[in-house]
Amino acid sequence: MAPSSYNPSAPSEQLVPLPNALQIELSSGISLQPPLTRRGTGPGLIVFLPPEHAASEAAALDPPPVLKWAEEGFAVASITAPNASPESLNIAINGLLALPELDTRDKFALVVYEAAVLPIILSLISNDNRLVCLVIYGHPLPVDPAPPVPTLVFLPKDTDTAFGPNLTICKLDTSSPSFAFPQATDFNSSAASIAHSKAAAFIKKYLGVFDLEAIWEEHCYFEFEVRSVAQTMGTMVAEPYVNHVPTLTGGIGRKQLTAFYRDHFIFSNPADTALQTISRTVGSDRVVDEFIFHCTHDKQIDWLLPGVPPTGKKLAIPMLGVINIRGDRLYHEHIWWDQGTCLLQAGIIPTHVPFEGKTLRLPISGAESAQLLADERSVPANEMLGSKQLDRRNMNAAKLNLVLTTTIAPTNAHMPIQYYIPNLLELFSEYRKPLNPVFETADSRFQLWIDSADFLSKQHRQVWKKAELPLLAARIFPRADVQQLQTALEYLAMFLILEQLTDSPASSETAKKWGAVYLDALRPEAPVAAAEQGPAAAVLQRLRSSIISAVDPPYRAAYLQSNENLVEGIIQEALDREQPEKVSSIVTYLATRRKTIGSLPFHRLHLWIAGLQGLVYPPNLLAMVEEALNLAAVSNDLYSYRKEYREDGASHNFVTVAMRDSSTGLQNGDSAIPAAIEFTVNWLKDAHARLEQLKNSLLAHAEIDAYIEGMLDCVVGNIEWSVACKRYGLFEDEVALQSGLIEI
C-alpha cells in the first residue's frame, strides 16, 4: 500500500542519483559532454559556440546549451569560436567516436550559435556525409550556396531572409541572436524554449527519439502509486519545475520542487486519487494529456484547494497537462484546470449570487464538466445559454442548490454556510386560513403573564417572548375562541417549561425526572410530590388546573395519553442525544420525533374544540395522522436547523440524521449541509404528496373531514409560525421568505 506521509528512511525515499557525466577537454576550445540521461547513451551532436557573453545578473533555470543538449540525450562535442576548422571538426568527431556512450556512430547533427563560422560549416558539411542536419540560431544563411543538408534557422522576427531548398525558417519574438543563452543579458526564456523544442524535434527526425509516453507514465507511477518523492524527482532533469496555473502552486528548481512534492503534493493527495486519461498527444519533446482527476476531498489538498478544509465531497476535475521532456527525464509540467468546477464540486461557492438587485446564476458547472469530457453525449448542450437574472421573488423557480459561500476559513474556524428553503406554504395554499381574530387578546394576556412570572429568569423571559407561543396557538387553532385559545396556550407553556427543564442539564435522567413531574401535573389528582420539585413544578400544577377544568371529561383521557406519548419520546430523545452518532436512520429518528414534536396533544385539543367525540379512525386516517406528524416534525427541524446548528451543531435533527443515514447517499460534514437541506425539502414534498393521496382515498364523512381539517391546521400553522417567529429568526419579511436564502 502506498504511504500516506513522508518517511525519509523508507527504501523508496533513498536518493536517486542524477546523471553526472563530466565534460572531457579534447583540445583548446573543444570539449566533450557525455549524455546526461538515465540511459546514459545517445547519438552525437556537434555545437559551435560564440565567445563568452556579457553575463546577466538574473539567475535562469535553463542550463547552458551544451548541458541542455546533453540532457536531451545527446553526446555533445562543443567547439568555441574562433576554433571552427576542418581540424577542429575532426577532433570533435573522433572524440565522439571514442566515447563509449555514443550509440549512433554513422551520423551527426550540427548546431551553430556563432555567425562567423557559417561559411566554414557549410563547406565542412559538403565534404562529410556523416553530417546529416544543421540548426542555426540567430543568423541568416548566405543566399548561395543553398545548404547541402536539411537546415533549420531561427531568426529575430524583423530579419529579412531568403527561402530556399533544404531550408526551414522560424522567426521568433526576439531582437537578439543571443536569445538562447541563459547567461546572456539578451536571454529570452520564451523564445529559447520554443526554439529548443523545434530544434530538438528537427534533429530527432534524423537521429532518433526516446519513448516520451513511457517516460511520462513512469513519472506518474512514482508520483501517484508508489508515492515516492525521491523516485519522482529521479525522473526529472537537474533543475525542473512544475506550475499548477489556477492555484499558482508548484516548485521552481530541484530544491523547491522536492519540498513541494514532499510537503504539499504527493502525500496531500487522498488515498482514492485516480487519473482517468481522456486523450494524449505525443510530440517530439512533450506530452499533452487531457485527463480527469478523481478523488474524495477527505483531507486538505494543498495544491488543488489550498487552505480549504476537507469537505468530504467526491471530486472529478477535468485537467490538461503539458509535459516537456528533455531526453528521458521531465523538464517541466504545466497543469491547468477549471477552478470554478473544483470550487463548486467541493461545495464552497454558490451556484447563484446577488447581482444588481437580482440573482445571477454563475456560468460554472460541477461534475457534469467531467462527464462531458468523458462522453460528449452525456450532458445536454447550451443549457447555460438560457440562464437569466432572477428577481428575488422568483427564486423558487430556480430550484437553487446553494452551497458554502466563497468565504474560506482556516480549518479550526467556523465557515459561513448558505442554503435554500423554498416557501413550503405554497404546498398548502388551499389549507391556509387567516390568523385567529382573538390572537391579539390572547397575546397581550400572555405577555402580561410572562412579565409577572417569578419563576422565569431575565434570560428565560426573553426566550419565552421569542417563542411567540400565542402566534403558534393562533395559527394552529384559527377558529378557537378566547377560552379555547387560552387553554392551548397553557398547554404550550407547560410544553416549553418541560423543554427548558429537560435541557438544564440535558440528560436522560433529567428527562425522566421532569417528565414524571410534567405528567403528574396533568393528572386529575394533584400529587404532593410535584409541589416539592420547585417553582417550575408549581407553575405546571397551576397551568394544569386551568387545562383540566377547561377540557371536558370525555377528552381528558385521550389528551393525557397523548402527553404520555410526548414524555416517552422526550426520554428516548434524551437517550439518543447522549450518543447521537448511533441515530443513523431517519426512520428510527422519526419514530421518536413524531412524539416529541408535541402535535398529537394538539390533535386531541382539536377534538375537544371541534366537539368530535367518539371518532372512529379508519386505517388510512391513522396513516394520515402519521404523515401529518412527520410533516410537522420535519418542517420544524428544517426551520430550526440554523438555531440548533449554532447551539450544538444540530446533532439531533432530521437534516443531520439524513447525512448519517447511508440510504440517503448524502455525505457528512458542513459541506454536505446544502444537499441535506435539499434532501429534507424533497422529503417533505413527498410526505405532502402521500398525505394528499391518503386524504383522497377517504370517503366523505363530516366528522372525519373536520378532524382532517384540524390536523392540516396543525401542520400549516406550525410552518406559518416557524417562518415568522423570532425564535428561529429566519425571514424578516415576505421578500426574504420568497428568496429562501439562509446563512449560518
For the chain, the structural domain boundaries read: 11-207, 237-345, 418-743
Q: Which grid coordinates are listed for 293?
A: 482527476
The CATH classification of domain 418-743, taken from the options 3.20.20.210, 3.40.50.720, 3.40.50.300, 1.10.600.10: 1.10.600.10
- Lowest-pLDDT range of 3-17, 55-69, 104-118: 55-69
CA-based torsion, 529, 534, 540, 545: positive or negative: positive
Whether domain 237-345 has CATH 3.40.640.10: the reply is no
Please give the pLDDT value at position 397.
Answer: 37
Strand partners, 325: 330
Distance CA 468, CA 726 (A): 7
pTM of the predicted model over 0.75? no
State yes or no: pLDDT of 56 exceeds 60. Answer: no
521-570 pLDDT per residue, tens: 777 665 545 445 566 666 776 676 667 666 777 777 787 888 888 889 88
Phi, psi of 279, rounded to the nearest 5 degrees: -155, 160
Strand partners, 742: 419
533-543 pLDDT per residue, tens: 566 666 776 67
DSSP characters over 21-41? PPPEEEETTEEEE---SSS--
Yes or no: say if 64 and 78 are a contact pair by the CB < 8 Å rule: no
Distance CA 124, CA 130 (A): 10
State yes or no: pLDDT of 738 exceeds 60. Answer: yes
Please give the pLDDT value at position 227.
Answer: 95
Distance CA 372, CA 288 (A): 19
Phi, psi of 456, rounded to the nearest 5 degrees: -95, 130
Distance CA 43, CA 653 (A): 72
Burial class from Cβ neighbours inside 10 Å (0-12, 13-18, 19+) for residue 319 reads buried
DSSP characters over 365-409? -STHHHHHHH-TTSS-TTGGGG---B-GGGHHHH-------S---
SS3 of residue 47 by DSSP? strand
Distance CA 140, CA 92 (A): 25
What confidence tier does 399 reach under pLDDT thresholds 50, 70, 90? very low
11-207: CATH architecture: 3-Layer(aba) Sandwich (3.40)
State yes or no: pLDDT of 701 exceeds 60. Answer: yes
Distance CA 368, CA 377 (A): 11
* Residue 278 Cα distances to 28, 72, 289, 335, angstroms: 53, 28, 8, 15
Distance CA 79, CA 87 (A): 11
DSSP characters over 148-202? SS-EEEEEETT------TTEEEEEES-S-TTTT-TTBTT--HHHHHHHHHHHHHH
State yes or no: pLDDT of 404 exceeds 70. Answer: no
Distance CA 731, CA 424 (A): 13
State yes or no: pLDDT of 682 exceeds 70. Answer: yes
Can you say how many angstroms the Cα of residue 336 is from the centroid of all Cα atoms in its chain? 17
Yes or no: say if 27 and 72 are a contact pair by the CB < 8 Å rule: no
498-525 pLDDT per residue, tens: 887 777 566 888 888 888 887 877 776 6
What confidence tier does 407 reach under pLDDT thresholds 50, 70, 90? very low
**422 HSE (CA, 13 A, CB side):** 20
SS3 of residue 284 by DSSP? coil
Considering only CA atoms, which of 387, 383, 297, 372 is closest in space to residue 342? 297
* Residue 339 Cα distances to 221, 289, 307, 342, 513, angstroms: 25, 18, 14, 5, 55
State yes or no: pLDDT of 446 exceeds 80. Answer: yes
What confidence tier does 69 reach under pLDDT thresholds 50, 70, 90? very high
State yes or no: pLDDT of 282 exceeds 60. Answer: yes
Q: Which grid coordinates are listed for 645?
A: 446548528
